[in-house]
Structure 1
């Protein structure tokens, strides 16, 4: 199967991350999936933001120095001007504006029961979603509340996964993952084969150079996430052509 190209927070090299414009550009260039980040406001509304505060993505002073986003109401989050020219995007807005499969990263474990409630009334959105994250217990909770939605544990390297009691296999079992997202460092074809033997997909990151793509293809990875998904697609086509020429 071809390697899946996932747009990181949309197409964030060219448009403000986690904005409707970024998601639209990612779909325009033909991503297989969009990766984005979900958080919970003070009044328990689901919205999209990578960081714990608005500061890094602020468009002007209205979004700076407000403190943790989790301590702000949705109205406050939407009144603040981000680099997209508007406030945060809600989860429902994102799903209404997109058609692509979604990687939804859980940034705050508190979102899990609220996601379960949302998806119980939005089955079409649930059907094009996989839940991801770095927190094993949050993903385990997601598995318990939303067993029909796929899950993907993310680790920076296989060495980090091995620190989980019982190793990386135990981590996948604990989180009931249907996919494994792992940093390229330390990965081997043997590990990738072992993940596949468990019936799971393996996605790799980061994807910043042609050499990263070459390694992903050589490892037999199923997908990768890129800030510039159109460029990543070009790299993939280049590497695939190289393989064909050698065959």
Structure 2
């Protein structure tokens, strides 16, 4: 029998080290979600990763947007897949949050990656809608064009998306989002070639030991979306590697205090 050693997973944190801070849609408690303002605020808050959602415009340009429509977070209306890049670029994506952010735009994925590449930061990118392999390819093309494959993790709730990413860009790390735990998270992680398994943090309360099982298989765990010290403490005790949060500044400060260090 031949035993093949697993390559170490850089996203599994060593014992007694801080949690990885992942800013949900940017620092979305302080700035309009999925905008460059939210990204910059998260960066200055000490976030290790920005978490954003990506979808394609009518003409196939990847944009950062969570909802299917632009109605909630812009001054426009309509499904993003019915709007061209030229139309999306005119929308105000900030004033809904505060007049201070009037004029903020919906960023393209290219804009976001250019900022991260030159000014620092990593991206946990959720494929929100992609009906075909070509849709996913359009997103990957932008990541590759900006030479960011080593600083981007692609994640999705849809296993088809992850299989397509692996086929098209096996060098890209993959994360599976889950609202509830799979019957056998390790088996599905191995089947999908996952780097990280990303469940709703509340789901871990039912089976916290699964974190150790995933680690033993070389899979990191990033829990979502936790915004209170009580949850950070609980998930830290479970051994998760990172936490997706709307409050990255507070989690960064909590990390410092938890690990006996100072800013």
Q: TM-score, normalised by structure 2?
A: 0.82
Q: 1:230 to 1:211 in 2, by over 3 A?
A: same
Q: CA RMSD in A?
A: 1.6
Residue number among 196, 201, 211 corresponding to 1:179 in the alignment: 196
Residue number among 48, 51, 54 corresponding to 1:38 in the alignment: 54
Q: 1:16 to 1:186 in 2, by over 3 A?
A: closer
Query: In 2, distance between residues paired with 1:22 and 1:140?
Result: 30
Query: In 1, distance between residues paired with 2:227 and 2:130?
Result: 29
Structure 1 residue 145 and structure 2 residue 178: aligned? Answer: no
Shift of 1:41: 0.6
Is the deviation greater in 81-90 or in 102-111? 81-90
Secondary structure in 2 aligned to 1:213? helix
Q: How does 1:1-247 map to 2 (within 5 A)?
A: 1=14, 2-58=18-74, 60=75, 63=76, 66-83=77-94, 84=101, 85-98=103-116, 99-110=120-131, 111-122=135-146, 124-158=147-181, 161-162=182-183, 167-187=184-204, 188-240=207-259
Shift of 1:87: 3.0
Answer whether contact 1:210 1:235 (CA < 8 A) is retained.
yes
Query: In 2, distance between residues paired with 1:27 and 1:137?
Result: 31
* Residue deviations 1:88-132 (CA, integer Å, cap 9, x gap): 10111111122201101100124311123223433x222210001
Shift of 1:30: 1.1
* Residue deviations 1:135-167 (CA, integer Å, cap 9, x gap): 111111111111001000010121xx22xxxx3
Q: TM-score, normalised by structure 1?
A: 0.87
Answer whether contact 1:34 1:100 (CA < 8 A) is retained.
yes
**Structure with the higher fraction of residues in helix conformation:** 1
Structure 2: runs of 5 or more not aligned: 1-13, 95-100
Answer whether contact 2:54 2:109 (CA < 8 A) is retained.
yes
